[in-house]
């Protein structure tokens, strides 16, 4: 290879990339139009190839170092700049995008909540009327612990909080993902999981109520349940969105409907994951703590529910 001729042929690209990078370093990536951003990315790839050739052909340390610095600058602006913009986009979504999406899809979340509450009310009513019904839903070991020993089961978490918290998060995330994926069945499996979990919580509520343990039980549930249950309902809404795309695509073709409603469901899941992580930490470290008065747990739970309601009702001005 004729090194001098190669340098003369390639030097124009190096200088052009350098000028673009100087502008970006002074004024930011947004100072360039889209076409020049694409050009800068293309030049960066070209100069990276030139650097690799310069190393293999041993064109000289000075030129090699110049190309090394130029590619490093290009990498910083193109990739790290994009990462910064990605984090800004995530923050923007958490601030305004997720609340807006919750408002847009509230009807699906409301339907999911209704199925859960229906299961809860049915189980609560029948558990008071017929003890056999309760035994069909609640594990016998749990029933005997409450009935015979007059104690709740949350004390088992104390002393193993980190392990319990991580297991709770994993379980809740698994349930939520299953609820969302259940939309593929036309929503049948989504509805089944929501109703079944409602039946379970309703039967347990009746069990603790029958043995005068309702106050400490709901004191345990309120702090993390204020986030965990809405997250499950939102996941149920996401599953119903997917079911809507399959069963009632409307003005869209079924594939396009799946893309549209599936994207909304995926965005809901993004927010649900954050809520469940926070709820898991609370359930592992705060809710079962015997040193915290029950009344304070109720206050914290109601406060979290109120904050979540305010957050989900936010609207961006302008």
- Select from 32, 59, 86 the last residue of a domain: 86
User: Are residues 202 and 146 part of one domain?
Assistant: yes
Averaged confidence pLDDT in the chain: 88
Give the pLDDT of residue 214: 93
Give the pLDDT of residue 243: 96
User: Are residues 237 and 137 part of one domain?
Assistant: yes
Task: Burial-class residue 189 by CB neighbours within 10 Å (0-12, 13-18, 19+).
Answer: middle
User: Are residues 68 and 119 part of one domain?
Assistant: no
pTM over 0.75: no
User: Are residues 146 and 249 part of one domain?
Assistant: yes
In a domain, 305, yes or no: yes
User: Are residues 113 and 39 part of one domain?
Assistant: no
In a domain, 100, yes or no: no
Q: List, for residues 257-291, the tens digit of each pLDDT value.
A: 898 899 999 999 999 999 999 999 999 899 988 89
Q: List, for residues 73-108, the tens digit of each pLDDT value.
A: 888 777 765 555 666 777 888 888 899 999 999 999
Assess whether pLDDT exceeds 90 at residue 50: no
User: Are residues 243 and 199 part of one domain?
Assistant: yes
In a domain, 91, yes or no: no
In a domain, 37, yes or no: yes
Q: Which two tokens stand for residue 157?
A: 């978490």
User: Are residues 121 and 181 part of one domain?
Assistant: yes
pLDDT-above-70 percentage for the chain: 95
User: Are residues 286 and 226 part of one domain?
Assistant: yes
Residue with tokens 């549930």: 221
For residue 134, the enclosing domain spans: 105-312
Give the pLDDT of residue 20: 86
User: Are residues 151 and 82 part of one domain?
Assistant: no
Q: How many domains does the chain have?
A: 2
């Amino acid at each position: 290879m004729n090194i001098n001729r190669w340098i003369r042929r390639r030097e124009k690209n190096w200088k052009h990339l350098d000028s673009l990078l100087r502008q970006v370093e002074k004024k930011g990536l947004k100072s360039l139009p889209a076409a020049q951003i694409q050009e800068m990315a293309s030049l960066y790839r070209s100069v990276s190839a030139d650097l690799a050739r310069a190393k293999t052909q041993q064109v000289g340390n000075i030129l090699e170092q110049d190309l090394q610095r130029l590619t490093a600058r290009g990498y910083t602006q193109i990739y790290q700049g994009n990462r910064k913009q990605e984090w800004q986009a995530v923050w923007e979504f958490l601030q305004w995008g997720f609340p807006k999406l919750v408002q847009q899809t509230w009807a699906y979340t409301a339907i999911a909540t209704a199925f859960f509450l229906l299961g809860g009310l049915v189980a609560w009513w029948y558990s008071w009327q017929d003890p056999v019904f309760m035994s069909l839903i609640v594990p016998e070991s749990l029933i005997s612990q409450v009935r015979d020993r007059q104690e709740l089961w949350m004390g088992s978490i104390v002393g193993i909080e980190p392990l319990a918290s991580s297991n709770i998060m994993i379980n809740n995330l698994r349930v939520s993902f299953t609820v969302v994926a259940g939309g593929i069945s036309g929503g049948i499996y989504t509805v089944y999981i929501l109703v079944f979990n409602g039946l379970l919580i309703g039967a347990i509520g009746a069990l603790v109520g029958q043995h005068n343990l309702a106050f400490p039980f709901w004191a345990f549930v309120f702090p993390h349940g204020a986030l965990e249950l809405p997250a499950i309902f939102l996941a149920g809404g996401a599953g119903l969105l997917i079911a809507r795309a399959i069963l009632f695509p409307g003005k869209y073709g079924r594939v396009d409907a799946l893309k549209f409603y599936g994207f909304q469901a995926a965005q809901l899941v993004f927010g649900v994951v954050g809520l469940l992580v926070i709820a898991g930490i609370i359930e592992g470290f705060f809710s079962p703590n015997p040193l915290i008065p029950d009344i304070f747990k109720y206050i914290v739970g109601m406060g979290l529910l109120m904050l979540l309601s305010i957050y989900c009702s936010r609207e961006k001005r302008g």
